[in-house]
Amino acid sequence: MSPPAAEAVRRALLGAGLTEWFASALVGLYQDYRRSGTGGYAAQVAGTVQRLTGRPARSLDDLLGEIAHTLPAT
């Protein structure tokens, strides 16, 4: 995320009511994930979700598609 994009996201998070610390931490975490790349530590897949829940992991897109009808419209 470029510095201007990171700042825009940070401002949006602040506008949504997050504290300065939390907004900056989320932006920093996202930037760290991006730096790790598609083969980095953040991209590694383990069997933890299935081991803990008994169900295979799924993508965020799949989850949101499943629950979208329960979320309030904006």
pLDDT of residue 1: 61
pLDDT of residue 64: 83
Query: What residue segments make up the domains of the chain, in order of their start?
Result: 3-70
This prediction has a pTM of 0.56
45-70: pLDDT as tens digits: 789 999 999 999 888 788 888 888 89
Q: Which residue's entry shows tokens 């700042």?
A: 7
pLDDT of residue 37: 82
Top-ranked range on mean pLDDT: pick from 26-30, 61-65, 69-73: 26-30
CA distances from 62 to 15, 20, 57, 67 (A): 28, 31, 10, 9
